[in-house]
Amino acid sequence: MWGLSKNPSQLLNKKQHKQEREGGLTESFRLENFIPGLVIGFIFGLFLDLTNPIKNSFKKKNFSGKSQQQSLVSYNGDPELKMVLVVRQDLKMGAGKIASQCAHAATGMYSELMQSQQLLLSRWEQCGQPKIVVTCRNQQEMNKLQEAADSIGLPTFVVADAGRTQVLAGSKTVLAIGPGSKASVDAVTGKLRLL
């Protein structure tokens, strides 16, 4: 008989519990709670963003071993940054292969910059991430271009193909130079032909 007789307050609690389960978020959502919550969330997010600055961004090393501060000196005079992708002609790659190798070069460079030069990367993003594709004759010319870029502090990235389709495994297909100031990048690649 214990289970048959129910207290009226118990029935009320069960009804409230059932309504909460059925109504859920719609009943608990009220405009007067939403706007202050939104404002508090925005302020909290802004506070988190301001308390996490890029630390020691000027002391990081770039790919040539020179400090980033030294590299940025040349970028400050020329706010436009660009990347040049140098494709080897002697490999006789098809258009699709060239496109995928250029994509590997750009994303490879981006990945390395995310870890080592975030300030440079964000400035390049603000410029619209311009990329120019040019050609070189062979591996020797590509090596000279890489050395020239490294010597003036420009970041470089070389794509070594996996060898699954048109070229031999390990073939150096594309060299990414920059991002860097137009003047710096053009000093290395300005005489190369557009693809």
Structural domains of the chain sorted by starting position, each given as residue range(s) with its CATH number in brackets: 81-194 (3.40.1490.10)
Report whether 109 contacts 139 (CB < 8 A).
no
CB count in 10 Å sphere of residue 179: 28
Q: What are phi and psi of 194, to 5 degrees?
A: -65, 150
d(CA 44, CA 38): 10
Q: What digits encode the pLDDT tens for the residues 7-43?
A: 555 555 555 555 555 555 555 666 676 677 777 777 7
Note the pLDDT of residue 114.
93
Note the pLDDT of residue 150.
97
Q: Which helix (H) or strand (E) holds 85?
A: strand 81-88
Q: Which of 168, 178, 188, 176 is nearest to 90 (CA)?
A: 168
Report whether 155 contacts 62 (CB < 8 A).
yes
Note the pLDDT of residue 30.
67
User: pTM higher than 0.85 for the full model?
Assistant: no
Q: Which residues of the chain have pLDDT under 50?
A: 1-4, 54-78
Report whether 85 contacts 109 (CB < 8 A).
no
Q: Which of 136, 138, 124 is nearest to 188 (CA)?
A: 136
d(CA 61, CA 40): 39
Three-state secondary structure call for residue 82:
strand
